[in-house]
Amino acid sequence: MIEIWVELGARAYPVVIAPGLIGAAGAERLAPLARGGRLVVVYDAAVEGHLATLGAALAEHGVALDPVAIPSGEASKSWAMLETLCEALLARGVERGDHVLALGGGVVGDLAGLACAILKRGCRFVQLPTTLLAQVDSSVGGKTAINARGGKNLIGAFHQPSLVLIDPDTLATLPLRELRAGYAEVVKYGLIDDADFFAWCEANGAALLAGDAVARVEAIAHSVRAKARIVAADERETGDLRALLNLGHTFGHALEAEAGFSDRLLHGEAVAAGMALAFRYSARRGLCPGGDGTRVGAHLRALGLPAGLAEAGVNAPGTRLVDHMRHDKKMVGGTLPFLLARGIGQTFVARDVALDDVAAFLDEEREVCDAPRRP
């Protein structure tokens, strides 16, 4: 069992990583949080098997689960579903001191976390992420949000969980496409500031996706340690440090918007393409060697992830993609900071990027003969 703390003073919390944690070991951690022998859990249909396992384990401690189901998919990150969920939690008598469990992927964690941030001006919650993307990224750090017409994650709050329980065994039931999408966020930590970890990904990424348990635990633990360190130093992204975690997201969110925030393009797939675009754009500006951009794209493609517009299924003009970027929540005074790179493991925040130059770059990318989109 690995325990990593997110050091936030009085609000510090542990991230526990262990195979089988959805069962008995997790129940031991969760049972003391129950009020009146009950824990409310928000989940979607994709994790009903894990819900049954968790429920049986908690029953051994005299705790019953009170489940609240939400529809699967990015469409659930909406005003309408946020209202529905808040009303369901209120109907169950959730109090400020209660802990709501969020069992599932990033959509469940984001939606449940935001509901808990605003319900009665804040109640507590526990993240039980079951996807690789949620385990290595969205479950840690306290960012909660829903989407709006203008863009992704524009309505949200910083609301830290009380506990994160990560069970790598849940990945055994995850479709390969979802695993690949989560893997993009693993690679991100190497590209940000750890070239050695990117090299580890090149050597071990295929094994991780194929089911290597040791590689999965190593990737999850390394990613969580990296994110915990960054969040502890810059919780609310007031400086440049936490902003580095957005590598690939400015390009990626524009691609998601163009795809209608649908399953046509998963978040991790968009981030993968966005990271490759960020490195190629950096090379275009003379900031990093072109070979680094090629290396990043080659690794992502080798693992079945998109590394270009065509592979992501997007054929929009650069001006339209840039219009999506104008709604980015990071916009300050009409200027959008971009995460660019001086090389692998050397990401930085650039505040001198002209959006018309980005549009021209994206139009050039449309003319490139990309490899066929991943199956």
How far is 220 from 167, CA to CA, in rounded Å?
10
Distances (CA, A) of 293 to 186, 283, 288, 322, 335: 17, 7, 8, 21, 25
Q: Is 344 within 8 Å of 296 (Cβ atoms)?
A: yes
Q: Which of 222, 246, 256, 365 is catalytic?
A: 246
d(CA 226, CA 137) in angstroms, rounded, equals 10
Query: Is 267 designated active site?
Result: yes
DSSP classification of residue 119: G
In the annotation, is 329 catalytic?
Answer: no
Place of tokens 């936030």: 8
Separation in Å, CA 35 to CA 25, 31, 64, 98, 175 = 19, 9, 10, 7, 35
Q: Tell me which of 124, 188, 227, 299 is the catalytic residue.
A: 227
Q: Does residue 242 have an active-site annotation?
A: yes
Structure-block tokens of residue 115 = 């509901």
Annotation marks residue 237 as catalytic: yes
Is there a contact between 296 and 289 (Cβ–Cβ < 8 Å)? Answer: no
CA–CA dist 108, 140 (Å, integer)? 13
Q: Cβ(95)–Cβ(134) under 8 Å?
A: no
Q: Which of 253, 280, 299, 324 is catalytic?
A: 253
Catalytic residue among 50, 152, 216, 249: 249
User: Tokens representing 92?
Assistant: 């169950």
State which amino acid sits at residue 205.
G
Determine which one of 74, 178, 235, 237 is catalytic: 237
Alpha-carbon torsion angle 309, 310, 314, 319, nearest 10 = 50
Whether 256 is catalytic? no
Q: Please pick, among 124, 159, 188, 267, the residue that the annotation labels catalytic.
A: 267
205: how many CB neighbours lie within 10 A of its CB? 22
Asked if 143 is an active-site residue, the reply is: yes
Is 77 annotated as catalytic?
A: no
Closest CA to 156 of 174, 171, 142: 142
Q: Is 253 a catalytic residue?
A: yes
Active site residue 342: no
Question: What is the per-residue DSSP string for 197-254?
Answer: HHHHHHHHHHHHHHT-HHHHHHHHHHHHHHHHHHHHH-TT--SSTGGGGGTTHHHHHH
| 77's tokens | 């990150």
Task: Pick the catalytic residue from 143, 216, 222, 324.
Answer: 143
* Catalytic annotation, pick one of 77, 124, 188, 242: 242
| Residue 50 designated active-site | no
Catalytic residue among 74, 178, 185, 256, which?
Answer: 185
Task: Give me the active site residues, please.
Answer: 121, 143, 185, 227, 237, 242, 246, 249, 253, 267
